[in-house]
Structure 1
Amino acid sequence: MHFLPSKIFIFILFFSPVITVAQNYNSKLLHKVEGFSHPESVVFDPVHNTLLVSNIGEKEPGDGFISRLGLDGQIISTKWVEGLNDPKGLLLLGNKLYVTDNTDLVIIDNDNAEIIERIPVEGAGFLNDIAEGPEGSLFISDTRNSSIYKRETSGKVTEWLNTPQLENPNGLLVVGNYLHIAAWGSEGAGNVLRVNLDTKEINNITNSGVGNLDGIQLVEQEDFFVSDWATGKIFYVSKEKAHREVLTSAKSAGDILYLKNTKQIVVPMNIQNEVWWYQLD
């Protein structure tokens, strides 16, 4: 997830050359789906066999919404849920859809398409992505404040970690005992990081800076796809601390979804108001 142009307030973009590694993927563009309003994040709904897409809207109060999209690339419902402000990160757990909405955490009933709870996050500046942690906990990135919030199973939300070492965190993903982060970057291009959930120790998976990172998706146990919002590049990041380009969409590639069973990558294109769909082989 990213900053809209008006929200890019402190960052200067620097980019480092991609480490040369043998290419393992070819990509083919399957669909360019129109009809969105600054789409930001995509998640798979296994119950309804559809995709859900967050739409930031035009930054007017209450004009954000969630769309439902078929696996054939057809829009089922453009405004499946309305009345949000700036919805970004999406996490589907059971019949509840969790949405980061500016400085609130919003919970939606996925069966009835109804907002059931809005939870203000005290001290938050720019809530972005959201990931499931151990035992039903949730982790939420605050890109503006370079911090991570945690929602306990009790429902209490508190700031869990705040440090410049997080490099203005954006995309989040928990694998094993680590929180993996696609960082936007502050004084330079952001890296892929991981944080030990017990000790909160931060380590770099990449070191040279990859880009203004947005989404992160698991490929294998220690390998990931990440999206660079500024260039539209999707990178494969390996445990060997190397990264290589898989495909290039265009500037404003948001919080991607990787459909492992079909080897497809779905990319919300914020500026273009479209969702681009790629097949890997």
Structure 2
Amino acid sequence: MKTKFKSGILLASAILLFAQCSSPKTESSEEMATEESTAMKTPSLTLLWETPAELITNESVLFDPSSGNLYVSTIGGMDPLEKDGKGSIAIVSTAGEILNPAWVTGLNAPKGMAISEGKLYVTDIDEFVEIDIASATISNKWKVEGAQFLNDVAAHNGTVYFTDMNTGKVHTYAEGSISTISEGNSSINGIAVANDGTIYGLDASGLKKWNADGTTTIVNSTVTGGDGLIILGDGNFVASRWQGEIWFASADGETNMLDTKAAESNTADIGYNPAEKVVYVPTFFKNKVAAYKLDY
């Protein structure tokens, strides 16, 4: 009995000693796993496909969850302010196939787009254009007073928001009426609206949001002069710069995920498929749309 008792004590002591010696290794492993996990979360873009170079001066891409296709606005010429009637909207599949290069024609230099209540809304220099999606026809046009360079568009709960880069204004369209809700936004371009109705925009000051009282707060001051804007949620955004950059941005910092300036490939008004986490990039003078998988 004594021998067995002593053996039991020795066995228990050995187990305790082994556990104590193993603890530092376990903590070290956990730290390494945390470091690896953090490293894996560095935002990145991986090229999936490119269309043929047949979308002449394409400025904006919009993913339509209803049809599963992409709308692409094409200026058709070299001048984004020329009223030459060459502008159109193309339809491209999410596999990169150009399904219809001239789905809607008769525009000048179409840029930003948004979908609201069965209509596709497009900015066209100094006009705000409504396209009936079902019939693929232009159903209305509004000349915006004082407009010079209408650009990006976003929609939320029946209201459509759009920017004028040259005048620094943000306009809204609702129930047949256009109003101005914000002024003094230097070189305002990209605009997006969160699910809770908060408006975000890109101008010379960076990425900013509009407060309930109409004032604005800078979210990120590094990504200035942005073009397309995507709200990812949880305080994270993707923003493009026309010159050839795409950034992952938040209040905590930013990461330049793509730089195509050396290739002279622009990154204009980007689109996004949230279910697949795919960013669609109009390359402007390269005349093609490129798709990238977003990992973050």
Aligning the two structures, in what range does the TM-score lie when normalised by the shorter sequence?
0.7 to 0.9
Say if 2:266 is the partner of 1:246: no
Give, as a single letter, the amino acid of the residue that structure 2 aligns with 1:267: V
Say if 2:67 is the partner of 1:44: no
Partner of 1:263: 277
Partner of 2:123: 100
How far apart, CA to CA, are the structure 2 residues paired with 1:98 and 1:154?
13
Q: Whose radius of gyration is greater, 1 or 2?
A: 2
Question: What TM-score, normalized to structure 2?
Answer: 0.79
- Superposition map of 1:71-150 within 5 A: 71-133=94-156, 135-150=157-172
How far apart, CA to CA, are the structure 1 residues paired with 2:273 and 2:68?
12
| Structure richer in helix, relative to its length | 2
Q: Secondary structure at the match of 1:214?
A: coil
| CA RMSD of superposed structures (Å) | 1.8
How far apart, CA to CA, are the structure 2 residues paired with 1:105 and 1:50?
23
What stretches of structure 1 of length at least 5 have no aligned partner?
A: 1-20
Question: What TM-score, normalized to structure 1?
Answer: 0.83
TM-superposed CA distance for 1:49, in Å, is 1.3
How far apart, CA to CA, are the structure 1 residues paired with 2:95 and 2:102?
18
How far apart, CA to CA, are the structure 1 residues paired with 2:206 and 2:106?
34
TM-superposed CA distance for 1:60, in Å, is 4.9
1:67-125 Cα shifts (integer Å, max 9, x gaps): 00011110000011000011001001232100011111110011111001011111111
Say if 2:234 is the partner of 1:212: no
What stretches of structure 2 of length at least 5 have no aligned partner?
A: 1-37
Partner of 1:12: none
Partner of 1:167: 186
Relative contact order, higher structure (CA 8 A, sep 6+):
1
Partner of 1:194: 209
| Count of residue pairs brought into register by the alignment | 248
TM-superposed CA distance for 1:26, in Å, is 3.4
TM-superposed CA distance for 1:272, in Å, is 0.8
Distance 1:254 1:123, change over 3 A: same
TM-superposed CA distance for 1:45, in Å, is 1.6
Which residue, out of 32, 48, 60, partners 2:50? 32
Give, as a single letter, the amino acid of the residue that structure 2 aligns with 1:246: M
Give, as a single letter, the amino acid of the residue that structure 2 aligns with 1:129: D
Percent of paired sites with the same residue: 30
Give, as a single letter, the amino acid of the residue that structure 2 aligns with 1:278: Y
Distance 1:30 1:255, change over 3 A: same
Give, as a single letter, the amino acid of the residue that structure 1 aligns with 2:242: W
1:118-175 Cα shifts (integer Å, max 9, x gaps): 1111111111011124x42221101001111122x33111222211xx2321010111
How far apart, CA to CA, are the structure 2 residues paired with 1:140 and 1:61?
22
Give, as a single letter, the amino acid of the residue that structure 2 aligns with 1:117: N
